[in-house]
Amino acid sequence: MFVFLIRVRCVGTYKTSDFRKGLKVQIDGEPYLMTEMQFVKPGKGNAMYKCKLKSLTRGSVLQRTYKGGDTLESADVEETAVQYLYRQQDTFVFMNKTSFEQYELTKEQVDDNWVYLKDGMDCQMVLFNGLPITLTPPNHVELKVEYCEPGVRGDTATNVTKTVKAETGGEFVVPSFINMGDIIRIDTRTGEYLGRTSS
């Protein structure tokens, strides 16, 4: 005799009065983030809610209009702390810091964030129905410069720049005085150089 255990999670709903920027909802079984919400009250008829929704799995954007009384399912989304372990070709492996469960993300899911990932780095991961969908690295990272053209001796001007290759394989625009072996500080939200920490 076989016994099957099925995990059932209750999915809540949001009424239009709950709609706001930052809400995570589910449309056609897919998680979306409400990035904009505009309340429109025409002279006659029902109030309208114009919403812009970004897919958390594909990055595409939906524009939807709802009338007062409509509802949307809440997305079963949770954010958890993970540690980056290693990369295997186009797969990135992370470990949940609490349960020690391992997650794999594709290169598409990690997106441009791969340029910041160092072994052992702490990140935030978004799970949908227990499966990983997106990743956010720390706001600032320190990376060692693996390769660059030599800096000009005595040149400390920050308005002259060059491109360097960091230990992650990512390339960054930095001042011309940066040399190989230097540790640079990068803002992961913009990719901008913030400073040199040490050599």
| pLDDT tens-digit map of 55-84 | 888 778 999 999 988 999 999 888 899 999
CATH of the domain at 124: 2.40.50.140
The pLDDT of 43-59, averaged and rounded, is 86
For residues 116 and 152, is the Cβ–Cβ distance under 8 A?
no
Based on the domain organization, do 118 and 147 belong to the same domain? no
Q: Given a cut of 80, is residue 199 above it in pLDDT?
A: no
**φ/ψ (deg, to 5) at 113:** -65, -15
Structural Rg of the chain based on CA atoms = 22
Residue 2 lies in a domain: no
Residue 7 lies in a domain: no
- In angstroms, rounded to a whole number, what is the distance separating the alpha carbons of residues 134 and 119? 18
- pLDDT at residue 114 in the model: 95
- CA angle 74/136/125 to nearest 5° reads 50
Residue 8 lies in a domain: no
CATH of the domain at 32: 2.30.30.30
Residue 3 lies in a domain: no
Based on the domain organization, do 53 and 91 belong to the same domain? no
Based on the domain organization, do 21 and 68 belong to the same domain? yes
Point out the domain boundary residue: 74, 95, 111.
Answer: 74
Based on the domain organization, do 34 and 47 belong to the same domain? yes
pLDDT in tens, 27-38: 998 999 899 999
Residue 58 lies in a domain: yes
The pLDDT of 40-53, averaged and rounded, is 86
Domain that holds residue 48: 13-74
- pLDDT at residue 153 in the model: 59
Point out the domain boundary residue: 136, 154, 171.
Answer: 136
Based on the domain organization, do 131 and 88 belong to the same domain? yes
Based on the domain organization, do 31 and 45 belong to the same domain? yes
- In angstroms, rounded to a whole number, what is the distance separating the alpha carbons of residues 18 and 6? 30
Residue 49 lies in a domain: yes
- The 10 Å Cβ neighbour count of residue 25 is 22
Q: Given a cut of 70, is residue 91 above it in pLDDT?
A: yes
5 confidence band (pLDDT: 50, 70, 90)? very low
pLDDT in tens, 139-162: 999 999 999 988 665 555 557 899
> How many domains would you assign to the chain?
3
- CA angle 63/65/69 to nearest 5° reads 145
